[in-house]
Amino acid sequence: MQVANQTIEISRREKEDIATKLSQAERMLADGKRSMQKLEDDNSRLRRALEQSMTTVNRMSLDSDNSVDRLVMVTFSSVAI
């Protein structure tokens, strides 16, 4: 009877230990998922910021090209007169 009680107690401790380890693993997994989601959100924000910057740079480049074209036309018109 005493051996059976000891075996039950050992099994109970092992079960508690396994439950504790499982709980820790689940917390680590949840933390990892939160970190991954944060990184994906940060990546998305950076991608949008980059796209916006590229659009601005392209727009500035087009404006610059148009200014140079107008300057060339004005200069050409002055020379032709």
Domain boundaries, the chain: 1-81
Quote the pLDDT of residue 78.
62
**Per-residue pLDDT tens listing for the chain (81 residues):** 898 899 999 999 999 999 999 999 999 999 999 999 999 999 999 999 999 999 988 888 877 766 766 666 666 666 655
Quote the pLDDT of residue 10.
97
pTM of the model: 0.59
Query: What is the four-CA torsion angle of 17, 18, 23, 29, rounded to 10 degrees?
Result: 130
Quote the pLDDT of residue 1.
87
Q: b vs e for 8-19, b when ≥16 Cβ sit within 10 Å of the residue's Cβ? A: eeeeeeeeeeee
